[in-house]
Chains A and B, each alone.
Chain A
Amino acid sequence: MDKFLTMSALRRVVQLTAFVFFVYGAMIFTTFYTGDKLTQALPALSCAYDMSGGDFCTLIPLQHQMDHRVSTVFTQGADLMGAIMPTLITVATVAVLILVLNKAFCGWLCPLGFFQETLGMIGTKLGLTQVISLSRETVLKIRPIKWFIFLFFVLIFPILTGIGLLGHEWGSPFCSICPSRMMTTLATGDMSQVYISQAGWGYTLLSLIADLMFGLMIALALFVRQPFCRICPILPMQTLFKKIGLLRLVKNGSSHCEGCGNCIKACPMDIYEIQEVAANDNITHADCTLCGRCIEFCPHDGVMNFKYGPLTIHSSSNQGFKKRIKIDKWWKG
């Protein structure tokens, strides 16, 4: 039994529990109504379209606020503080949540992240050859996409909609293309979100992107680790506050790290920067999901660490590395 007691095993248990809560939580813990959801500004892709969910993602209120409130500064000359106050409250809620768990919302709690990881496990068991790491060039090309989506699909398009320069469908364009909307609703037996709209070119375009991307994500997740997470606009949102996060990835590699590259191979987001020399530095990258795999697969004692405030809560060790490699071999057969 001891051989299964690893951080990955703990993470799977937490992810499964979080999945149940965020997809079906309204049946037990909260209620059907949005006003009763846990935080209403979760920095993870838990969808409000899922009526049974326990909470919903911060991008939904943000888009609505841009569309209905922030835009009034331009259209009605509304008082700036009044117009941005709801946004400030949402952002402050995110900041508090990031302070507590930092980017672990992605690696430990996000239902869409867990769904993709589960597909990856299925792909491995189906015998599909897995892409261990994308090339550094590919990673660098993909990284700006999440910022583009965040800036345009979460902030700019909704504001332009509120101003009247874009049609209503651009009021919450990220929700319209988000794969979590489909995954969570389908998980509750609701098929209503699978459609192509013919209500206008904007509706058609957004619904087409949503469906194609959902299908593509499922196929890619079978052999590439966490394909959608790489372009998820929650990452930029979290990055704004990652400096204040108490939980962080700290590398102390000046004396022991030999640059073996195990950490990069282990990283599901292909963050090449974690291999670089660091002396007791916070290396929580903008793309990091704090999954902790780099700690597990680091063969050196005390080089990679999870720290919570001043406390070291988990460190890499040669013993842990050997154990993790053994489990990995067993899992891959």
Chain B
Amino acid sequence: MKKTFLSLLLSVTLWGYGEGTVFWAPKPSDTGEKANAKHGGHGMGETNMFTAIGLEGNGSATLRGPDLSLISLPMEGDTLTLPKSSMGGYYALVFKQHTAEQINTAIRYLSMQGRPVKISPTRLIALPKADLEILPHPLHREHDRYTASKAYRFLITFRGKALSSAPIILETRNHSSLTSISDQNGIVEFTLPNDFHAVRIGKSDNKPSEFLIQTHYHDTEALYVTTFSMPYHPNPNDYWQSQRLGAGAIVLGFLGGLFIYRRTKSKGVKRG
């Protein structure tokens, strides 16, 4: 009963968001306190249950680890639970579905705590995980997070090669939407919208929202549709951090130094 209610709640919340595609989202019961990690970027408090939203029929899910190992994950309907792992770093959660007319893929990157591996995250990201893929260029860094009002670049690839002129849509769960087209190098840049409401002062007091990037490519064989979804957070500089005051304080400190200069000069300190 609880599961049905939570699934219904998520469907209502996400109405219109990512419609017609399949994408990963944290399981509804875990989008609250757990996902709202007190100290972002460490994998602490992040959910271990994900739902392939928009899934119709069957598909397969895999998890690519920081050491580039690949494991298949069993799905219960549209949901899966991540296995426990001792390896720390980035993981790529990949969903694939082949239908008669369409090939759907959904990718999401996760950060988990554990023993670090000696393989660069660049290799995990560069590793082809689907025919059509949206690669973060780069993925936000460890200990960092996607943040509103910041610009991020993404690389669109088809079978490992940069795809130019691909139509890209970015949507957020806070009802913002942006469109763009990949350039000749397959790159597209988006500034994540500052569309949070009722933001509370303080980094840890705000729940993250979700953004979703989707693109499609039609070749002679089929229609390829892929999504990339991640959480993003309010930008402190939009709300409770003042950059003007910061610059003012630096000037004040500088003037303080000049005051000391004048004072030492008049006191006749040893000079060259």
Contact = CB atoms under 8 A, between A and B. Distances in A.
B250 A215 contact: yes
Given A195-B236, A199-B201, A332-B272, A211 B249 contact: yes
Contacts, number: 137
B184 interface: no
B122 A31 contact: yes
A199 B204 CA distance: 10
A197 B235 CA distance: 12
B241 A198 contact: yes
Interface in A157-210: 168, 171, 182, 191-192, 194-200, 203, 207-208
A129 B271 contact: yes
A191 B202 CA distance: 20
Contact of A211 (B39, B116, B246, B265): B246
A96 interface: no
The main secondary structure of chain B at its interface with chain A is helix
Contacts of A208: 249
Nearest to B258: A219
Given A212-B253, A215-B254, A216-B257, A132 B243 contact: no
Nearest to B42: A68
A219 B260 contact: yes
Contacts of A36: 120-122
B237 interface: yes
Contacts of A203: 202
B241 A51 contact: no
Contact of A195 (B38, B242, B260): B242
Interface residues on A, range: 35 or more
Contact of A192 (B237, B250, B265): B237
Interface of B: 38-39, 42, 89, 116, 120-122, 138, 141-143, 201-204, 236-237, 240-243, 245-247, 249-258, 260-261, 264-265, 269-272
Interface of A: 31-36, 48, 51, 68, 128-133, 135, 168, 171, 182, 191-192, 194-200, 203, 207-208, 211-220, 222-223, 332
5 contacts: A130-B271, A132-B271, A215-B257, A218-B254, A332-B272
Given A168-B203, A213-B253, A218-B254, 15 more contacts: A32-B141, A33-B121, A34-B142, A35-B120, A129-B265, A192-B243, A195-B236, A195-B242, A207-B246, A211-B250, A214-B250, A214-B253, A215-B254, A218-B250, A220-B261
